[in-house]
């Protein structure tokens, strides 16, 4: 700044014109991700959504981000799928209690607004909302010069859903004899990336653009595989089968999350022999010499969502998921707790070929 130049917002690092251009680029994405209940348009101070008529509605809300998976997206300069991960992490938490995701609002913090990059991020968010059947009701993009590096960004979102009070799912619905059904994950999803990056990138120095025969693609492509969105599959299952609860397998792994939906007095018996974790999990474990216990408490190990259903509806539930092109299998069963049990989830046996 010259001696006589007056301070401006642009000179301080905030480009309002770039922000306006980003909004223009975002509009087409937002139009894709809508529902009939949306009122008003993009650009208002608040997103408006007509709740509709319910007998006794309960609202459900969840907020999340995608963690250090962002570091992979930034290193690869590929930003059009990270938004799918963001939506998945929010809406798949809502559906655990039987709530239908209604809308989502995002927050994107950037060191510098690059309109095309912001549009790529929001394009992924819109695609995630389309997959989840919810509306992208609005959001915020904030430029943080001096706090974040120019190429850095972070994303978070809040999703809101609704469930009728008498259709609410949860641990109180779980009964002895219920079947535990696993739904296949698409890979790492959005958890455990600090360990995955430490093993594969920092320690072994594997290149993100390097083709890995066992993965059938580059390491970067594998690590950026979007998180699977199960919301519509779970809602369809709950509408046709007697579902006690769902369990979204995220940070803490299968046992750590399943414990949250198993009530006192019951135990979930899980059989490792029913599935082989995907190749990326085997690669991390073998190349990084990571022990099974550490793998299981860090990653989903190939199970992204769990349905706890009545035994009489087990076969029907499996058939429905298969018809929806989702690989699913019986993972185990809920039984009464015994004096020797010291946990609500007991993992038995070994994974084949792991």
Q: pLDDT tens for residues 183-200?
A: 999 999 999 999 999 999
**Average pLDDT estimate for 272-298:** 97
The pair of structure tokens assigned to 344 is 């609500």
Mean pLDDT of 207-218: 97
What confidence score (pLDDT) does residue 44 get? 65
Burial class (CB in 10 A: 0-12, 13-18, 19+), 354: middle
Alpha-carbon distance of 328 to 326, in angstroms, equals 6
**Residue 286: predicted pLDDT:** 95
Q: Which domains does the chain have, with CATH numbers?
A: 15-37+56-164 (3.30.1330.10), 171-348 (3.90.650.10)
Res 214 pLDDT > 70 = yes
Mean per-residue pLDDT, 70-83: 96
Lowest mean pLDDT among 6-10, 164-168, 272-276: 6-10
Per-residue DSSP letter, 216: T
**pLDDT tens per residue across span 294-308:** 999 999 999 999 999
Give me the sign of the Cα torsion angle 88, 92, 94, 95.
positive
pLDDT tens figures, 323-343? 999 999 999 999 999 988 889
pLDDT, average across residues 104-115? 93
Coil, helix or strand for 106?
A: strand
Report pLDDT for 10.
60
* pLDDT of the residue at 146: 87
**Higher per-residue pLDDT: 34 or 145:** 145
- The predicted structure's pLDDT at residue 26: 61
Nearest to 25 by CA among 95, 113, 157, 151: 113
Q: Looking at the predicted structure, is the pLDDT value of residue 17 above 70? A: no
Q: Which element (helix H / strand E) includes 296?
A: helix 292-298
**Which carries the bigger pLDDT value, residue 333 or residue 4?**
333
pLDDT at 36 over 90: no
Q: What per-residue confidence (pLDDT) applies to 13? A: 61
Indicate if the pLDDT at residue 9 is higher than 60: no
Q: For the chain, what is the mean pLDDT?
A: 91
C-alpha–C-alpha distance, residues 350 and 354, integer Å: 8
pLDDT score, position 160: 97
Are 130 and 35 spatial neighbours (Cβ–Cβ below 8 Å)?
A: no
Residue for token digits 């455990």? 192
**Which residue would you say has higher pLDDT here, 45 or 163?**
163
Distance CA 265, CA 199 (A): 39
For position 57, what pLDDT does the model report? 93
Res 340: pLDDT:
84
Confidence of residue 45 (pLDDT cuts 50, 70, 90): confident
Q: Would you state the structure tokens that stand for residue 50, as one six-digit string?
A: 């007509």
Instruction: Express as a percent the part of the chain with pLDDT over 90.
Output: 79
Query: Does the structure show a pLDDT above 80 at 1?
Result: no
d(CA 138, CA 131): 17
Q: Is the pLDDT of residue 242 over 70?
A: yes
Residue 41 clears pLDDT 70, i.e. is over it: no
């Amino acid at each position: 700044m010259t001696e006589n130049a007056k301070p401006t917002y642009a000179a301080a690092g905030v480009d309002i014109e770039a922000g306006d251009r980003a909004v223009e680029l975002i509009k087409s994405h937002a139009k894709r991700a809508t529902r009939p209940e949306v009122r008003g348009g993009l650009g208002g101070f608040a997103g408006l959504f007509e709740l509709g008529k319910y007998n006794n509605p309960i609202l459900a809300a969840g907020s999340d981000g995608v963690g250090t998976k962002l570091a992979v997206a930034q290193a690869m300069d590929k930003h059009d799928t990270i938004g799918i991960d963001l939506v998945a992490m929010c809406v798949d938490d809502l559906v655990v209690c039987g709530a239908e995701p209604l809308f989502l609002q995002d927050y994107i913090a950037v060191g510098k607004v690059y309109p095309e990059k912001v549009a790529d991020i929001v394009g992924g968010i819109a695609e995630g909302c389309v997959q989840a059947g919810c509306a992208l009701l609005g959001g915020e993009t904030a430029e943080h010069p001096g706090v974040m590096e120019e190429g850095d960004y972070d994303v978070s979102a809040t999703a809101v859903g609704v469930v009728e009070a008498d259709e609410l799912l949860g641990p109180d619905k779980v009964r002895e004899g219920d079947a535990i059904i696993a739904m296949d994950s698409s890979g790492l999803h959005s958890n455990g990336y600090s360990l995955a990056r430490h093993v594969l990138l920092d320690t072994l120095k594997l290149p993100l653009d390097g083709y890995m025969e066992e993965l059938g693609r580059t390491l970067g492509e594998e690590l950026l595989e979007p998180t699977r969105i199960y919301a519509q599959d779970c809602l369809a299952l709950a509408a046709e089968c007697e579902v006690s609860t769902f369990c979204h397998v995220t940070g803490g792994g299968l046992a750590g999350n399943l414990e949250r939906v198993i009530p006192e007095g019951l135990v979930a018996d899980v059989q490792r022999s029913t599935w082989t974790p995907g190749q990326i999990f085997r690669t991390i474990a073998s190349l990084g010499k990571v022990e099974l216990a550490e793998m299981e408490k860090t990653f989903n190990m190939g199970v992204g969502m769990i349905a706890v259903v009545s035994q009489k509806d087990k076969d029907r539930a499996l058939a429905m998921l298969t018809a929806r092109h989702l690989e699913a299998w019986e993972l185990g069963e809920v039984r009464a707790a015994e004096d020797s049990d010291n946990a609500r989830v007991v993992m038995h046996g070994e994974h084949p070929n792991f």
